[in-house]
Amino acid sequence: MPYTKIWIHLIWSTKNRERIITKEIKPLLLAHIKENAKNKGIHIDVVNCVQDHIHLVASLGRDQTIGKLVQLIKGESSNWCNKQKILQTKFEWQDEYIVVSVSHSMINKVREYINNQEEHHKRKSFMEEYEDFKNKYGFESIAVKAE
């Protein structure tokens, strides 16, 4: 039996970074994401969100790809929100997302960061956080080199 433990930190926002995830919607959305992931064989270690974006740590299974995992969580959750009519308008996620690997030695630090999103975002906006992630992990330099 193969053993795998590949941690990924996944971040994405609502369409146009709209602040639509209310305190009433949040528990429903997070519970659904966890249950759906479990049903699809995806191990979500920790998940949390604020009004305009979501963070989660998942462990990729041996047959899972990042693209498929994103589709099964992100795509399915917006579809579920719309079927449940949790908003008066259409619920949509932004197309973009960030995924970075997390070493096993840093997993507790990332868990703490995700669990403290509300406090963290009292000091920093999502766009500031997003730009920090892009810079920290060199995404801007990758995009420039690819052109």
Q: Could you report the per-residue pLDDT of 6-19, keeping only the tens digit for each?
A: 999 999 999 999 99
pLDDT of 140 reads 64
Residue 52's pLDDT band (boundaries 50, 70, 90)? very high
Q: Which of 133, 91, 96 is nearest to 114 (CA)?
A: 133
Give the Å distances, CA to CA, from 57 to 5, 9, 18, 54, 146: 12, 5, 23, 10, 28
Among the four given CATH numbers 1.10.760.10, 3.40.50.720, 3.40.50.1460, 3.30.70.1290, the one describing domain 6-117: 3.30.70.1290
Q: What confidence tens digit (pLDDT) does each residue in 77-112 have?
A: 999 999 999 998 999 999 989 999 999 999 999 999
Contact predicate 100/109, CB 8 Å: no
Q: Residue 145's pLDDT band (boundaries 50, 70, 90)?
A: very low
Rama region for 49: left / alpha / beta (φ>0; ψ in -120 to 50; rest): beta
Q: For residue 34, what are the CA distances in angstroms to 1, 16, 37, 125?
A: 26, 24, 5, 25
Question: Higher confidence at residue 59 or residue 141?
Answer: 59
